[in-house]
C-alpha cells in the first residue's frame, strides 16, 4: 500500500503544471512505494508515497487551486 485509502484520487500533475487546471485522477494501480494514476483526460503518471497520505488528496487544497490563476 503506497498512498493508502486517502490517496485513491489526486489532482493530475500533468494537467496541473502544464495546463494549470485541476483534473481528478483515479488510482489505477497501487504499488508498494509508487501508485499509478490516470486522469479524466487520459494522462497517466506515478506518485511516490514514502508514507500513506494523511489527508484526502482530492479535491486539492485551496492554496493549490488559488495558485492556478496567478
Among 57, 18, 13, 20, CA closest to 39: 13
Side-chain-facing half-sphere of 65: CA atoms under 13 Å: 10
Nearer to Zn ion, 2 or 11 (CB): 11
Joined grid coordinates for residue 50 = 514514502
47 in contact with Zn ion (CB under 5 A) = no
Nearer to Zn ion, 12 or 47 (CB): 12
- Diameter of the chain measured on Cα atoms: 36
Shortest distance, position 11 Cβ to Zn ion, whole Å: 9
12 in contact with Zn ion (CB under 5 A) = yes
List residues binding Zn ion (CB under 5 A). 12, 14-15, 23, 39, 41, 43
Amino acid at each position: 500500500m503506497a498512498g493508502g485509502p486517502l490517496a485513491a484520487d489526486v489532482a493530475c500533475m500533468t494537467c496541473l503544471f502544464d495546463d494549470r487546471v485541476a483534473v481528478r485522477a483515479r488510482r489505477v494501480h497501487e504499488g508498494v512505494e509508487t501508485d499509478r494514476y490516470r486522469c479524466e483526460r487520459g494522462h497517466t503518471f506515478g506518485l511516490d508515497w514514502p508514507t500513506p497520505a494523511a489527508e484526502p488528496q482530492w479535491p486539492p487544497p485551496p492554496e493549490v487551486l488559488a495558485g492556478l490563476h496567478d
